[in-house]
Amino acid sequence: MNAVAKKASWDEAYNFAYLDEQTKRMIRRALLKAVAIPGYQVPFGGREMPLAYGWGTGGMQVTASVIGPSDTLKVIDQGADDTTNAVSIRRFFKRVAGVATTEATEEASVIQTRHRIPEKPLKEGQVLVYQVPQPEPLRKLEPRETETRKMHGYAEYGLMHVRLYEDISRFGHIATTYSYPVMVNGRYVMSPSPIPKFDNPKMENNKAIQLFGAGREKRIYAIPPYTRVKSLDFDDHPFEVQRWPQACALCGARNSYLDEVVLDDKGGRMFVCSDTHFCADRQEKGHRGPMAADPAARAFARSSETSEQKEDDGR
């Protein structure tokens, strides 16, 4: 914080990135421990943020502790840069840290996310910060923290396998579609946060550093770059991700996670990429989906594209 810090201008009623330096130091220590023990949940003295618990306070504290004035921040919710809470968090950091923001995945040095991993592979040096509502993957099986901590301590994960097996005996396949538990570095079972299981394979050997912040539950955990992350499964029932019979209606992508968008009340709907930047980028490069020319679909796409411009008006 010096010459560079001077360049970034923020609301000086607050310390850079809102939190005081002591708090940031405490969080960074927790982050270092988390990186050193991949998948282990580190308790930390989470602070009250000016955003409701459950709305990304953990992610915000992590972002606030790792961000510097020269960073470029991207914030997504459900894969989209223009969802209201993503806009709200981006505005917060514009105000209290004055950092540059972007929607382009490749331009961001820090990406805070809720419920998705961007489609575009991340690079070395990038930081992906996940917002985590419930860090404990075993919580639905055992409500007591004193018990689950023991289970992690002894790597006693039989209960989780039994749960997955019960799905198979009942439905013939595992019926977990998001928050699909992973084994990190062969030691800790970890919640990937409520990302769709479609995104789970992206966690493995990712070049970026992945940090997870759970504000309400006051836990931090991490996956360092190039770490083994395996979705739990059985030899005869291997893990598999969601597939769609459709391509993205706007950009024609066949390999991205699709959201179903209701167009009217007569059953009209289309499937589009949940990663808005990925979709817009493809369209810019000339890729067209089956509904790219449809007026209703265009209206939907426009409302997404102009969000950044609106934001600048509003400042």
Partner 1 sequence: MYVAVKGGERAILNSHKLIAETRRGDGQVPELSVRQIGEQLGLAVDRVMTEGSVYDRELAALAIKQAQGDLVEAIFLLRAYRTTLPRFAVSEPIDTATMLVQRRVSAAYKDIPGGQVLGPTYDYTHRLLDFALAAEEGVGLPEAPEAEAPLDEGMPHVADILDHEGLIEEERPDSEGAEVFDLTREPMSFPAGRDQRLQNLARGDEGFVLALGYSTQRGYGGNHPFAGEIRMGEVSVEIVPEELGFAIDIGDVVVSECQMINQFEGSKEKPPQFTRGYGLSFGHNERKVMAMALVDRALRAREMGETAMYPAQDEEFVLYHADNVEAAGFVSHLKLPHYVDFQAELNLIRKLRQEHQDRLEKEAAE
Please, which of residues 230-269 interact with partner 1 by CB under 8 A?
A: 242, 244, 257-263
Could you list the active site residues?
Answer: 39, 248, 251, 273, 279
User: 227 vs 304, which CB is nearer to partner 1?
Assistant: 304
Verify binding: residue 228, partner 1, rule CB under 8 A. no
Instruction: Please choose, from the candidates 31, 42, 39, the residue with its C-alpha nearest in 3D space to the C-alpha of residue 184.
Output: 39
53 sits near partner 1 (criterion: CB under 8 A): yes
User: Binding residue for partner 1 (CB under 8 A) from 101, 102, 112, 304?
Assistant: 304
Residues 198, 257 contacting (CB under 8 angstroms): yes
Sheet containing 188-190: give its strands across. 188-190, 182-184, 229-231
Least Cα distance to 130 among 18, 208, 69 occurs for 208
Cβ-based nearer residue to partner 1, 93 or 227: 93
Q: How far apart are CA 243 and CA 185, in angstroms?
A: 27
- Please identify, among the stretches 32-40, 87-95, 202-210, 279-287, the one whose residues bind partner 1 according to the rule CB under 8 A: 87-95
Instruction: Please choose, out of 66-74, 99-107, 246-254, 295-303, the segment that lies near partner 1 by the rule CB under 8 A.
Output: 295-303
Distance (Å) of CA 68 to CA 71, 86, 245: 5, 19, 43
Give CA angle at 108 (298, 201), nearest 5°: 80
Query: Residue 96 Cβ, how far from partner 1 at the closest point, in Å?
Result: 10
Residues that bind partner 1 (rule: CB under 8 A) add up to a total of 71
Give, as one character, the DSSP assignment of residue 237. B
What is the spatial distance between Cα 305 and Cα 310, in angstroms, rounded to a whole number?
A: 10
- Does 299 contact partner 1 by CB under 8 A? yes
User: Where in 120-159 is the site for partner 1 (CB under 8 A)?
Assistant: 133, 143-146
From CA 200, how far away is CA 232, in angstroms rounded?
A: 10
Helix axes 57-66, 84-97, angle to 10 degrees: 30
Q: Does 303 bind partner 1 (CB under 8 A)?
A: yes
Using CB under 8 A, which of 5, 8, 14, 98 touches partner 1? 14
Q: Which is nearer to partner 1, 41 or 227 (CB)?
A: 41
Beta carbon of residue 39, minimum distance to partner 1 (angstroms, whole number): 18
Contacting partner 1 (CB under 8 A), which of 121, 155, 175, 255? 175
Residues 183 and 239 sit within 8 Å (Cβ to Cβ): no
For residue 314 the two structure tokens come to 């509003």
Cα–Cα distance for residue pair 95/299, rounded to 1 Å: 31
**Binder to partner 1 among 64, 93, 111, 114 (CB under 8 A)?**
114
Length of the chain: 315
According to the binding rule CB under 8 A, does residue 80 interact with partner 1? yes
Question: Which lies closer to partner 1 via its Cβ, residue 115 or residue 282?
Answer: 115
What is the C-alpha separation between 281 and 165, in angstroms, rounded?
Answer: 41
Among 40, 198, 212, 221, binds partner 1 (CB under 8 A): 198
Residues from 204 through 223 that contact partner 1 (CB under 8 A): 216, 218-219
Task: Enumerate residues 59-78 that contact partner 1 by CB under 8 A.
Answer: 77-78
